[in-house]
A and B are shown apart, each in its own frame.
Chain A
Amino acid sequence: VDIRTTGGPPTAEEIAAVDGFLGPAESLWEGGARVARDDHLAYGGRASRERRHLLLPVLHALQDHVGWVSRGALEYACRRLAIPPADAYGVASFYARFALEPRPPLAVHVCDDIACKCSGADALCAALETGFGPAGTPGADGAAAWYRSPCLGLCDRAPAALVERAGASDHAEARIAPATHASVNQVLLGGWPANEAFAPRHDAGGTVRLLRRAGVVDPESIDSYRKAGGYAALRRAVELGPDGVIREVTEAKLLGRGGAAFPTGRKWDAVSKAPARPHHLVCNADESEPGTFKDRVLMEGDPFAVVEAMTIAAITTGCEQGYLYVRGEYPLARHRIEHAIAEARTHGFLGEDIEGSGLRFDIEVRRGAGAYICGEETALFNSIEGKRGEPRNKPPFPVQAGLFGKPTLVNNVETLVNVLDILNEGSAAFAALGTADSTGTRLFCLSGHVRTPGLYEVPMGTTLRALIDMAGGLREGRTLCAVLLGGAAGSFVTESQLDVPLSFEGTRAIGATLGSGAVIVLDDTAELEQVLLRIARFFRDESCGQCVPCRVGTVRQEEALKRILGERDESLRESDVALLGDIAQAMRDASICGLGQTAANAIGSAVIQLKLVGGRS
């Protein structure tokens, strides 16, 4: 606490940004003006440290209002929250969103990730470089700069860009998708993007369940939601009671949709029985897997469903406080969810005595700050607690000791929304869909070289070929190169594997994974080598650095891949391919979290299993 940064005092603007969130400082010791009491009395300690979790929201406030986080501002935030500045600096520098050096008030983040690459992101970036200047360099007037960004979750409208304008009163965020050189340049020169029309695509042939309201109801009207059947499931949950709900979810054989496919019923049961109190609920909406945008569409198109499903989960498992952690790149989803929470509160669906159950529950929205790793549940807990998003060792598992060290139910957005259907139609009807082991429907995010990219909902077990056909298939005259299934952490499948049924067991049989539901289709025009290098760079950037195998392995993997791609000598290439295999093994064996364990999957499947690279030279 007593180590100071070398920054000067905070500016009035910075103080206003922090105080705007925390309220004014009450004493000299909190960074305010001296009052008489301060000479002989100060409170702090535990009371201050318990506000540690407000560090990220405070940093967001600074970034929003000032455009960057100066040392003076950081020190002021530390005074307010009793955090050692060195510790807070470690947090601020962990997250990509927080600029620790001055930055122009207007920033355009241009996605150059896989799906956007397939739609001309590289050409767009090249044009910006020539026309405006290199990435990260402010324009002549210092008012704006553009940056390359990992996936923004707008793959259905690629290439995409996210615009942020910092300002105390006129802070704003907007998206440009699809982005063109002209549309981005216009913003860089002081314009503002036109309001985007929200249009989820789900041309899914009759099995639309999770998406039944998205694009149909008014996402900002609770009445519209209720007219479409909203809040019937919550009533049903209150009738059934916790045991009844857990029985239904268990019998529906619902498996988690975030990537790990853990049985949801078992998780709920474990949290409801955990003796320690209080219990916390976390909705993982940090959808950062490249090529994935399903949770965004659910939150933007049907936010009340997410709120209702969280409420059901909470009253079933004994949680009184819920957090929805939404990735920072989803401003519209965040605003819609926040609005839905406020509406639900007004109408008695959140707060005290929900639906006459005598139970209370409320939700706080937490905003991610540009760290892929925070999708990992324990890293996400640390992030909510105001720390670096580094995963924790397991055990203890979240159901025993999760957020703030308490039993925590953490579910993905899509998983939670499934519960509404299970309660409305019964577990039997739900289990009748899909395959015996993979029940229900699944959302797939189709992007890349298909005619109609978008979000598609199909019963589990639908073949990959059928799914691609649903999206209009490949463009005229093109042939398939590969499909990246499950995003950057997933793996490549080829033409010969297109009849794989998209179920947990079906993909497992061919050594692939459904992952987060990302399906990036690459045709013969795709620059596969560039895609692989992008994936390698992605993991190098996003490794949290905590475990050596991942911190070093992701760097070595990128280096080896570059050599392989540039090397003409067969024998040298062979040794680097073998090295990739060793690195992959070390990362799988010795990383504590899924990032390190899967960071070699896609590249390994391309280079080693499919010979996609080796076979070309």
Chain B
Amino acid sequence: VILWGSNARETHPIFFHHLLRGVRNGARLIAIDPRRTGSAEWADVWLGLDVGSDISLANAMAREIIHAGLANEEFIKRATIGYEDFARCVEAYPLERAERETGVPAAAIKDVALAYARADRGMICWTLGITEHHNATDNVLALINLALLTGKVGRYGCGLNPLRGQNNVQGGGDMGAIPARLPGFQDLQDPSVHAKFSTAWGGATFPATKGYHLSEMFEAMDHGELRAAYIVGENPARSEADQTRAVRLLSGLDHLVVQDIFLTQTAELAHVVLPAAAGWAESEGTVTNSERRVQRVRRALDPPEGARDDIDLIVEIARRLGSNFGHPTAEQVWDECRSLSPMHAGMAYHRLDELGGIQWPCYDENDPGTEFLHARLWEEPIGGPPAPFHAVEHDPPVDLLTDEFPIRLTTGRRLDSFNTGVQTGGYTSPLRTREAILISPADGVRLGIADGERIRASSRRGSVEVPVRFDASLRPGLAFMTLHFPDQVATNILTIDATDPKSGTAEFKASAIRIDKLVTAPVS
């Protein structure tokens, strides 16, 4: 198992627990991460690459695999396209170049590449270390290339696994909460799909063009093009990169509605706040986890006075806007989804109960669901279109390190806190200490800063005051912060909003900062 850009030990503890069972069964674990995290401590090998050099590393690994004759040529020929371009591209990434760009010793890169290629089964798991970059999609494509090159997709024990940060991130996308898709990843711009939904919804009219993703929405606010927002269960006033700008834009909207279970910092900016029931324990419905397994969620408690179920709120807003959605139960809403989304069609509630959840696609009520995807690539002849290689090039972080901003700041999460702390900040934890910027003890000595001292951390966008904590697991020149405690330290004042044009994700993982001692103004 290659854990790439993921500290699953802290951020996905349940998944990591399963992973450890595999490790105890003899699976080898390789961790690729700028920091030697708690996850990396369990790994057989840790490659501590420089922030943002993932593609260089992946391409060099691919080159080593090809040169060692370990590319799965049979699979490449029958199930992929674009191999020649890809091979030409990675040829420009000899080990020496990768060592220079990633910092990782060449021999170790080679060892890991060959171990992955030679393994009978191997999977690559990643999280935000891959995706919170300005070239996030290219990063992912570089990993996909490795799996295609070695035929490690569409087979049991193989594959590419983006670990989801919440129990229903996958479900959100599945249900169409992405700009160009309708439920079941059906293409909004496909006229037959559009017509099918329109018919099912009583001839309703709705746009047939791609919408905005989150970062584009903020762009549109900036241009004055987007004037109202309805935000459900999200805290962009704290979770967006370049927080000063995010707050300014949200505050400038004509109308802002926030539907949440807490009065978040975003909700404080809203014109209307809709108190919602918690999705967990106070509502009926389903969630879909990282392995595409749709599972039932049941109501165990009544929501507190005044808070209403998300379905009720949506139905009620629709009614005020002149549409009668009736009073559907969660199961009725789900059945409607099943009637429109072929990959969910076989997932009746009673089957979800009986089977302990079902992995999509599940096309009818005799379908047991699908344990792993892309098995079609191994069919004879292959089912569907071949899988494409994508030649991608190393492109260092936008926020360059200079003499003025010499320290690379990366951000992440900790075991006992979650994102902006909306759901975790109210609970105590024996592990938690006040938010601090973690730096290498060697940097502390070099800068004349003591462990625990308050300093000023500045980027090209802003600066914050924060205490320093020495962390021996960081190398000199690398600093780490979380965004768990926005009220103590507004980390996202420092981060850059350079965004991947394809996925809309901002480069939270790579900012250039400087650290200065706080000086008391001399008495005049």
* A residues in contact (CB < 8 Å) with B: 1-3, 28-29, 34, 37-47, 82
Question: Which 7 A/B pairs are nearest by Cβ-Cβ distance?
Answer: A2-B38, A45-B44, A39-B475, A1-B41, A42-B46, A40-B48, A40-B103
B residues contacting the other copy or chain, number (CB 8 A): 28
13 contacts between A and B (CB under 8 A): A2-B9, A2-B41, A3-B431, A39-B48, A40-B47, A40-B104, A43-B46, A45-B23, A45-B29, A45-B43, A46-B28, A47-B44, A82-B41
A residues near B94, Cβ cutoff 8 Å: none
Output the nearest chain A residue to B472 by Cβ-Cβ distance. Answer: A28
Of all chain B residues, the one with the shortest Cβ separation from A34 is: B442
Complex contacts, A34 vs chain B, CB 8 Å: 442, 472
- In the bound complex, what is the Cα–Cα distance between A38 and B441 (angstroms)? 14
Interface pair B43/A41, CB less than 8 Å apart: no
Query: Is B200 part of the contact surface with A, judged by Cβ < 8 Å?
Result: no
Residues of A within 8 A of B105 (CB): 37, 40-41
Q: List chain A residues, Cβ under 8 A from B40.
A: 42
Let me know if B158 is at the binding interface, CB within 8 A. no
Of A29, A38, A44, chain B has the most CB atoms within 10 Å of the CB of A44
Q: How far is the CA of A29 from the CA of B36 in the complex (A)?
A: 9
- What per-residue 1/0 map shows which CB atoms of B28-51 lie under 8 Å from chain A? 110000001110111111111100
User: Hey, which chain B residues are within 8 Å of A28, CB to CB?
Assistant: 472
CB-defined contacts of A39 to chain B, threshold 8 Å: 48, 103, 475-476
SS class, residues of chain A in contact with chain B: mixed
Contact at B42–A40, with CB atoms within 8 Å? no
Contact A40 B44 (CB under 8 A): no
A41 and B108 in contact (CB under 8 A), knowing A2-B9, A28-B472, A47-B44? yes
Bound-complex Cα distance A186 to B468 (A)? 55
Which residues from B are CB-within-8-Å of A82? Answer: 41
Could you say which residues of chain A place their CB within 8 Å of the CB of B38? 1-2
**Any A CB within 8 A of the CB of B131:** no
B41, closest chain A residue (CB): A1
B:31-76 near A, CB below 8 Å: 36-38, 40-49
Question: In the complex, what distance in Å separates the CA atom of A1 from the CA atom of B7?
Answer: 13
Whether the pair A45, B36 counts as a contact (CB closer than 8 A) is no
Partner of B45, one of A1, A2, A43: A43
Residues 469-514 of B contacting A (Cβ, < 8 Å): 472, 475-476
- CB of B102 closer than 8 Å to a CB of A: yes
The CB with the most chain A CB atoms within 10 A, among B29, B46, B47, is that of: B46
A41-B28 Cα distance, complex, nearest whole Å: 16
- When the two chains form their complex, are residues A45 and B9 in contact, meaning their CB atoms are under 8 A apart? no
CB distance from B110 to the nearest CB of A (A): 12
Q: Which residues of A contact B475 (CB under 8 A)?
A: 38-40
Q: Tell whether, in the assembled complex, residue B44 and residue A46 are in contact, meaning their CB atoms are under 8 Å apart.
A: yes
The answer, among B42, B108, B431, B442, for a CB contact under 8 Å with A1, is B42
> Complex: how many Å from CA A47 to CA B45?
10
Q: Which of B361-380 contact A (CB under 8 A)?
A: none
Is A45 a contact partner of B42 (Cβ separation < 8 A)?
yes
Q: How many A-B residue pairs have CB under 8 A?
A: 61
A420 CB to closest chain B CB (Å) equals 40
Contact B48 A42 (CB under 8 A): yes
- When chains A and B are docked, how far (Å) is the Cα of A29 from the Cα of B44? 13
Contact indicator A42/B472 (Cβ below 8 Å) = no
Provide the bound-state CA to CA distance between A39 and B104, in Å: 8
The CA of A43 and the CA of B46, in the complex, are separated in Å by 6
Q: Per-residue 0/1 for B95-115: is the Cβ within 8 Å of any A Cβ (1 yes, 0 no)?
A: 000000011110010000000
CB distance from A121 to the nearest CB of B (A): 45
Contact: A42 with B36, CB < 8 Å? yes
* Alpha-carbon separation in the docked complex, A44 to B23 (Å): 13
Complex contact B46–A41 (CB within 8 A): yes
Contacting residues, chain A, for B41 (C-beta < 8 A): 1-2, 29, 44, 82
Chain B residue with the shortest CB-CB distance to A2: B38
Other than the given A2-B10, A3-B431, A41-B46, 7 more pairs (CB < 8 A) read: A1-B38, A1-B42, A2-B41, A28-B472, A39-B48, A45-B23, A46-B44
Contacts of B45 in A (CB 8 A): 41-43, 45
Min CB distance, A11 to chain B, in Å? 18
**Docked pose: A473 CA to B495 CA in angstroms:** 89
CA distance A585 to B175 in the complex (A): 60
Residues of chain B with a CB closer than 8 A to A45's CB: 23, 28-29, 42-45
Cα-based distance from A47 to B9 in the complex (angstroms):
19
Residue of A whose beta carbon sits closest to that of B49? A40
Whether the Cβ atoms of A41 and B104 lie closer than 8 Å is yes
* Contact string against A for B residues 210-247, beta-carbon threshold 8 Å, 1 for contact and 0 otherwise: 00000000000000000000000000000000000000
Q: List the B side residues contacting A1 at CB < 8 Å.
A: 38, 41-42
Q: Does B44 contact A41, Cβ atoms closer than 8 Å? A: no
Q: Contacting A44 at CB < 8 Å: which of B44, B47, B108?
A: B44
Q: How far is the CB of B504 from chain A (nearest CB, A)?
A: 31
- The residue on A at minimum CB distance from B39 is A2
Give chain A nearest CB distance to B433 CB in angstroms.
12
Give the complex CA separation of A335 and B259 in angstroms: 74
B107 to chain A, nearest CB (A): 9
Q: Output the residue of A29, A39, A44, A46 with the most chain B CB within 10 A.
A: A39
Which residues of A sit under 8 angstroms from B48, Cβ to Cβ?
39-42
Minimal beta-carbon separation of A48 from chain B (angstroms): 9
| CA–CA, A29 and B414, complex, Å | 20
Q: B46 near A44 (CB under 8 angstroms)?
A: yes
B359 to chain A, nearest CB (A): 30
Q: How far is the CB of A41 from chain B (nearest CB, A)?
A: 5
Complex: how many Å from CA A47 to CA B28? 11
Give bound CA distance, A294 to B188, whole Å: 85
Q: Which residues of A contact B37 (CB under 8 A)?
A: 2
The reply to whether B442 and A44 contact each other, CB–CB distance below 8 Å, is no
Q: How far is the CA of A28 from the CA of B37 in the complex (A)?
A: 14
Give the shortest distance, in Å, between B46 (CB) and chain A (any CB).
Answer: 4
* Contact residues in A for B103 (Cβ distance below 8 Å): 39-40
Q: How far is the CB of B106 from chain A (nearest CB, A)?
A: 11
